[in-house]
Amino acid sequence: MNTLGIGQIHREEYDQSEPLVIAEAPGRVHLLGDHGEPRAGLFLSTAIDRYIRVAVSVRKDASFRFYAVALDERKRATLTNLKYKREDRWSNYIKVAIQLFVRMGFIDRGLNFTIDGDVPRQIGLASSTAVEAATAVALRKLFHANINNRDLVARLARVREIFLGKGASLVDYEIIMNARKGCFMIFDESTRDVRYIQTNLDGYKILILDSRVPRIDVEQELRQRRHDIRKGLEILSQHRPGIGFKDFTSADFIEADGDLSETIRRRSFFVVQELKRVPEVEEAIKKHDVQNLSRALFHSHEGLRDLLEVSCPEIDWLVKRSQETEGVAGSRMTGLGFGGCTYVFIKTNAIADYQKRLEDYERIFGFRPIIYEMDTADGARVVE
């Protein structure tokens, strides 16, 4: 939907109440690093040209009204009852941003919100974070709040953790707020340092493939993976306190023989390898070295499959078909795993061949993958 469309819908929904600001935020995809050391990872990521858009106008009372265009659903809250409600689903993410500006002393009246967009939901492309970011950017403009992106990201993450009752990573906020079109981002979670790489892959597109595999009760599995990784770091660093996985090499695992269980060894070894892959891929992209780029990305997926064990047969099948396709410069699972998505770097003229190779997927697994063609995008912004 274009921005004029959401403005008109907002007026019709709220008795001709004119939206005072419209903002948008992109989704994102992690290319590497999304299963690293907790709160100290190294990510290679990019924003994608699918957006969540939010229109805001002011009310005369103290209530908040929310309208989701795509779902044709309405929710409401008040200043005195601004809390998480499971049944409010998508509007809870708008409330995270509202709560932030309430705490900053800007909101003392009601507001109308209309939300729409085309970021695919519940497949690991950060649609919920995009809702928070778009709402926060709109409110920052509405109230002329003097807060830069870095502070806004930190405060949003803290409020989300309190409001939703679960940990929030800065990574998705940083990417969605600060992305640049035509660039990938490398984000160091431990220092919050960001550097940008020109994509430098002319003639290639990014495909996102939704495997359609439902993720059911995977949180316990993911908690176990995080526990194993933390335990591995604890054991490896017992004689070298204060260091992280980026300080270890493959040789350290030989020296630690006997100290690590086989499971913890595999999990930890994946993280150490992945940290080394990020600069390798950065160098390959800069040099347009498709061979080394492809090798690193496929090896990363093999690690997710064999060492971390967060993949599944459907995801592995999609990656294998891409590996067999001429014109593919790499593919890998992205997101939490146990279903979800893969991404593929592919030459434009090879897309048809790859799609043909996917025809057997429905016959084998019983459902058809959904393919999204993506490009890189700028970060969250007010739409003038």
Q: What pLDDT is stored for residue 357 in this prediction?
A: 92
Run of H or E residues at 66 = strand 63-68
User: Which pLDDT belongs to residue 4?
Assistant: 56
Query: Residue 288 — left, alpha, or beta (φ > 0 → left; ψ -120 to 50 → alpha)?
Result: left
Kindly list the structural domains of the chain, giving each domain's residue range(s) and its CATH number in brackets, ordered by start: 3-199 (3.30.230.10), 204-374 (3.30.70.890)
Give me the active site residues, please. Answer: 172
Q: What pLDDT is attached to residue 237?
A: 87
Q: Which residues lie across from 78 on neighbouring strands? A: 63
Within the chain, which residues score under 70 in pLDDT?
A: 1-4, 257, 384
> Letter for the amino acid at 22?
I
The sign of the CA dihedral 290, 291, 294, 296 is negative
pLDDT at 39: 82
Q: What is the pLDDT of residue 122?
A: 84
Token digits of residue 302: 């093999």
Strands (E), the chain: 21-32, 42-58, 63-68, 73-78, 111-117, 183-188, 193-198, 204-210, 328-334, 341-347, 370-374, 381-382
What is the rounded distance in angstroms from the CA atom of residue 235 to the CA atom of residue 66?
Answer: 49
Q: How many helices (H) and strands (E) does the chain have?
A: 12, 12
| Amino acid code (one letter) for 117 | G
CB–CB of 98/121 below 8 Å? no
Please give the Cα distance from 345 to 289 (Å, whole number): 13
- The pLDDT assigned to 257 comes to 66
